[in-house]
Amino acid sequence: MKKYIFAFFLIVQSAITYATDFEKVVNSGAWQLIKDDGVHKIKAYGREESKHNYRTFKVEATLNAPIETVLHAQLDIANYPKWVWSAVSAKILKQISEKEFYYRLVSRTPLIPDRDTILHTKVIAYSASHPYVEVKMLGVPDFLPVQAGFVRVKAYQATIKMTPRGDQTFLEYQGYIELGDDAPTWALNNYQKLAPHLSILGFRRLLQSSQYKNKTFSSPFIKR
């Protein structure tokens, strides 16, 4: 219960704190900075696009972990509730190959019904001509029937780009989401402001936990 009260507080606080900044996001196609978290080296952006009904988001962050560790954590789907904001469960539904799979993410957010998202995910490997790793995710709402008690996320498209910088990793997370037909615009806009930043903040904490800190990982997607 305390977790959801805190999440409710964050939504209300976000609506007050960021309302002015988001009004600056005009229909120019240019990214507008809406949050600069200098303490954690995270920047959040938004922009209007004529092809979308809602704002597109982007988050940039410098992570204190090598790219192999970052990618390992990023692809550990079952671990998502530990860092993805409002996530309560995540499960792979179908494994096509080591670089392609489908998974279901369940989210619980105050004020709106629980959501689930079905994502088709592909990993594009690091190489000399492609000096970063990309994880591309596309919502496939018709992949499974909707379970009772959930609203299926209508649209989701995102790319996570990870670039090695010595023992650190520069991460760019850009995407677009529509929570479903019954989600009011204010809820979606607040979700787009809160979720990316808080998720990356949670991801930073995960990388500094005993599960990942000072551990060595390898990846078939990284050949340096």
- pLDDT at position 52, please? 65
Residue 9 pLDDT: 41
Nearest to 135 by CA among 176, 106, 89, 171: 171
CATH number, domain 2-207, options 3.40.50.1370, 3.40.630.30, 3.30.530.20, 1.10.3720.10: 3.30.530.20
Residue among 19, 49, 50 nearest 35 (CA): 19
- Report how far residue 135's alpha carbon sits from residue 13's, in angstroms, rounded to the nearest whole number: 31
Q: What is the pLDDT of residues 136-151, one digit of tens each?
A: 999 999 999 999 999 9
- DSSP codes of every residue in 7-18: HHHHHHHHHHHH
pLDDT tens for 46-80 read: 888 766 667 789 999 999 999 999 999 999 999 99
Q: Which residue has the tokens 């996001």?
A: 25
Six token digits for residue 43: 């920047």
Distance CA 35, CA 4 (A): 23
Q: What is the mean pLDDT of each run of 10 residues along the chain (224 residues)?
A: 44 41 52 92 87 82 97 97 96 97 92 90 96 98 95 94 97 90 70 84 96 94 84
State the pLDDT at residue 5: 41
pLDDT of amino acid 22:
41
Determine the pLDDT at residue 184.
Answer: 72
Give the residue among 24, 111, 100, 82 at the shortest CA–CA distance from 207: 82
pTM of the model: 0.84
Q: Which helix (H) or strand (E) holds 220?
A: none
Distance, in Å, from the CA atom of 163 to the CA atom of 170, rounded to the nearest integer, reads 5
Count Cβ atoms within 10 A of the Cβ of residue 33 and give its class: 0-12 exposed, 13-18 middle, 19 or more buried: middle
Q: How far apart are CA 86 and CA 204, in angstroms?
A: 16
Task: Name 121's bridge partners.
Answer: 101, 137
